[in-house]
Amino acid sequence: MKASAFVYPWDVNGDPEAPARTAALGVRQATLASVYHSTRTLTPRHPRHRVVTAEYAAALYPPGDRWAGRGLRPYPAGRWAPGDAYGEAAEALAAAGLEVHTWVVLAHNSRLGAEHPDTSVVNAYGDRYPWAPCIAQPATRAYLVDLAAEAAVRPGAHGTELESLGWYGLQHLHAHDKTSGVGLGEAGQYLMSLCFCLSCRTGYGAQGLDADELAAAVRTALEPLWREAADDGGWPAVEKLLGEDTAAATRAWRDTTARTLQEEAVTAVRTAAPAGFRILLHADPVSYHCGANAGVDPAHILSVADGVVVPCTGGTSLLAPFAEHARERTVLAANFTVVSGMGGSPGTLATDAARARAEGATELRLYHAGLASDGDLAAVRVALAAGQGMVSGSRRREVGSLRERSRAPGEREDTP
C-alpha cells in the first residue's frame, strides 16, 4: 500500500538531511502541514533546535489577499515557521522524490477563540471552549471554507488532508489539562459538547426544541455523571439521558451543520485545485463524535470527498464502515502512530498494515516522521520493506541495534 508520513515544515527547513531521510522510510508521499494549531514538539534530529513551540494556530505560508478587511482571518506564523515555511519545505521534499500533499487543520484554533470569543462553542453551563470554533456560525463557516481552499491548494501540492472539518467539543489536549477526573463516557462527552451559541440556539428552534429548556435538560442529564463514572453506552446512553426525541433533534441539527460545511469546503477546494487533486478528510464513522477526526456519515462523506484518513492506532475497526461504501477510486488511509513515546507501536506496523488492508484500507499514514526516534524510524523502514517483500536480516539487525543504542540506562526492552 502507498504510505505517507506526516511532517511539519520545521522538521525539514534548516535540516538538509530531512527530505532524504523521510524518503528513505519507504514512503512515496509527505503530508506536510500548511495550517496547524498551537503545539510544542521535539525535533530529535534537527541540527539547530530540539524543541519547537508553535504559540498559536497559524498559516505556515503567507495568507493571501482574500483576507483583507475581514475580521476572521488566518494568523501568520511567528518565528517557528517564518515566511513561506510550508513552501520551502514542500520544495525540499519534492526534490527528494516525494509527492507532497497539504495537511490543513481547520476548526481547532485557540487564538481565534481568545480574540473572538463569540465564535466559540458554548456548553449548557455557559462555558466557552476557545479551542473549538462553532461551525454553525455563518462568519466562522465562511472563514473555514476559504481557509480550506487557500491552505489546501498550495503550489505543487497533489492533494490535501483536511483535519477538524466538523464539530470540536470538550475533549482537547490542552496545556496542563485537568479534565479527566470524571469519566463522562461517550454520552457525557456528547452532552458537554452541545453548543448553545446564538446560531445553535436558533438551529435547535428549527428542530422544534426550546434552547433554554434543552440546556436545562442537558444539565439535569449530566448531574449524576458528576458523582460517579458513566457507563460508556454510546448513543443509546444519550437517548436514555436526554430522551429519544430530544436527542434525535440535537443530532439532526449537528449532523446537518457538519455535513453542509464539509460539502462547502470540499467544493471550494475542488474549485481552486487543478485536475486530479485528491481531497481526503480525517474522519470518524460515528457522526456524533467530535474532534480532529470529525464525525461523519460514511456514505455521505465518500460521496463528497475522494476518501478519508481513519485513526487506527487503537485498532482497525473504524475502517469497516467506510469500506462498505468505498468505490473503485476511494482512498481509505489507515493512520498509525509510529512514535513509541506517544503510544505508537512501529514494531508491529507490518502486522497492523496487513490487518488494515484486510479491513479495506488502500493506503497508510504514519504519524509522525519528525517526532519519531531513530529506533522508531528504523522499525518503520523495516515494516514498509516487509510490506513490499523486501525485508532482510540486516534491516532487522539495524532495528535492534538502533533500539539498543536509544534505550535509556536500565530501561527494559519492553518499556515504551
Residue 44, burial from CB neighbour count under 10 angstroms (0-12, 13-18, 19+): middle
399 has pLDDT over 90: no
86, HSE (Cβ side, Cα atoms, 13 Å): 28
φ/ψ of 296, rounded to 5, equals -140, 165
Q: For 27-41, 62-76, 230-244, 333-347, which range has the lowest pLDDT when averaged over its residues?
A: 230-244
411 has pLDDT over 80: no
pTM, to two decimals? 0.91
Confidence category of residue 226, pLDDT binned at 50, 70, 90: confident
Q: Considering only the top CATH level, what class is 2-179+253-406? A: alpha beta
pLDDT > 90 fraction of the chain, expressed in percent and rounded: 86
Q: What are the sequence ranges of the domains in the chain?
A: 2-179+253-406
H-state helical runs in 110-166: 110-115, 138-152
Q: Mean of the pLDDT values across residues 70-89?
A: 97
Distances (CA, A) of 296 to 29, 96, 323: 25, 35, 14
Q: Mean of the pLDDT values across residues 308-330?
A: 97
pLDDT > 70 fraction of the chain, expressed in percent and rounded: 90
Give residue for cell 456519515.
Answer: 297
Q: What is the 3-state secondary structure (H, E, C) of 269-331?
A: HHHHCCCCCEEEEEEECCCCCCCCCEECCHHHHHHHCCEEEEECCCCCCCHHHHHCCCCCCCE
